[in-house]
């Protein structure tokens, strides 16, 4: 599970950087590297999307256990 999490995280960061470049400079790094609408660029986009869905699922299922772990206990 840990390897899958880190792979998904790396893919989501790659997607975030790519979208940042598109928004700021109208430059699509994935398309520049692999060709616009090529099979490989579509694969990268698909993997980034699946990684985002996977991380959203992980966050939804682990939210409660991590949320309270970092909160200090209030003294009464």
Contact criterion met (CB below 8 Å) for 31 and 41: yes
For the chain, the average pLDDT equals: 87
Q: How confident is the model at residue 68 (pLDDT cuts 50, 70, 90)?
A: low
Domain spans of the chain, in order of start:
2-53
Q: What is the pTM of this model?
A: 0.76
Tokens of 40: 């490989």
Distance of alpha carbon 28 from alpha carbon 21, whole angstroms: 7
In tens, the pLDDT along 11-47 reads 999 999 999 999 999 999 999 999 998 999 999 999 9
Continuous H helices in the chain:
2-25, 29-34, 39-67
Burial of 51 (0-12, 13-18, 19+ CB in 10 A): buried
């Amino acid at each position: 599970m840990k390897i899958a999490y880190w792979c998904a995280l790396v893919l989501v960061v790659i997607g975030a950087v790519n979208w940042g470049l598109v928004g700021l400079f109208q430059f699509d790094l994935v398309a520049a590297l692999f060709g616009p609408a090529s099979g490989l660029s579509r694969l990268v986009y698909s993997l980034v999307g699946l990684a985002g869905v996977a991380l959203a699922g992980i966050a939804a299922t682990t939210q409660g256990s991590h949320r309270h772990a970092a909160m200090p206990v209030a003294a009464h």
